[in-house]
Amino acid sequence: MGSIYLIRHGQASFGAENYDVLSPLGYRQAEALGNYLAELGINFDRCVSGELQRQQDTARTTLATLGKAGKGQPAIETDAAFNEFHADAVIRAHLPELLEVEPNALHILRNAASHRAEFQHLFTFAVHRWISGEHERDEVESWRSFLDRVTAGLERLLSQAKKKDNIAIFTSGGTITALLQQIIGVPAIKAFEMNWQIVNTSLSQLKFRDREVALASFNSHAHLQLLKNPELVTHR
């Protein structure tokens, strides 16, 4: 059987003007992942990343660290199918309803780094409306379209894969959630309960035979735990 490793990007710049930038901690997480994979003797036959900077930089840093351990690595391919959903657009689309449940929503959203719990509550509310399919907006990619996009990316990989390939996909939490929701067949709302648990640079392993895919492990972050520094285990 072959393996596909779904790898979430390192910690990004939550609360900054541009979220799509790895923090210094995010680079440390990616280096820790590269060292851990080298220790395990895991080599990749293919490496695919979404287009986002945080995804690409996590891939480059991880593979560069593997390279220092004498592990030759494939070039990073880019596939927009593995981009994250547009969280900002989802929030904007449901802002009127957010203001109804939380009059202070604009202040919380603009100062998310200092209101993490309140932001999480508002974000969860908007995401639940989005994935329900009952409040679709023309200007926002629907949950169904997002799911189809991500699934199509996985299907392309499977159609090109050899029997025992090890494939890395550097992506984001929402994308991993969408893939797992399809593979294990849980309702979308339940899948997003898993999404909130996905650690930066964690590994979720899929095993495949032809087009059959099964979840082998979820959200492994032993590479961070082994360093015995709780600050390295982050979720944004």
Q: What is the pLDDT of residues 102-117, one digit of tens each?
A: 888 888 888 877 888 8
Q: Are residues 129 and 12 in the same domain?
A: no
| Domain-located, residue 236 | no
Q: Are residues 27 and 74 in the same domain?
A: yes
| pLDDT, mean over the chain | 91
Expressed as residue numbers, the domain containing 106 is 86-140
Q: Are residues 52 and 159 in the same domain?
A: yes
Q: Are residues 77 and 158 in the same domain?
A: yes
Position 149 scores a pLDDT of 96
Give the pLDDT mean for 127-149.
Answer: 86
Give the pLDDT mean for 58-87.
Answer: 90
Position 221 scores a pLDDT of 97
Position 132 scores a pLDDT of 82
3-state helix/strand/coil string of the chain: CEEEEEEECCCCCCCCCCCCCCCHHHHHHHHHHHHHHHHHCCCCCEEEECCCHHHHHHHHHHHHHHHHCCCCCCCEEECHHHCCCCHHHHHHHCHHHHHHHCCCHHHHHHCHHHCHHHHHHHHHHHHHHHHHCCCCCCCCCCHHHHHHHHHHHHHHHHHHCCCCCEEEEEECHHHHHHHHHHHHCCCHHHHHHHHCCCCCCCEEEEEEECCEEEEEEEEECHHHHCCCCHHHCCCC
| Domain-located, residue 213 | yes
Q: Are residues 156 and 222 in the same domain?
A: yes
Structural domain count, the chain: 2
| Domain-located, residue 80 | yes
Q: The whole model's pTM is what?
A: 0.91
Q: Where does the pLDDT of residue 9 fall: very low under 50, low under 70, confident under 90, or very high at 90 and above?
A: very high
Q: Are residues 188 and 167 in the same domain?
A: yes
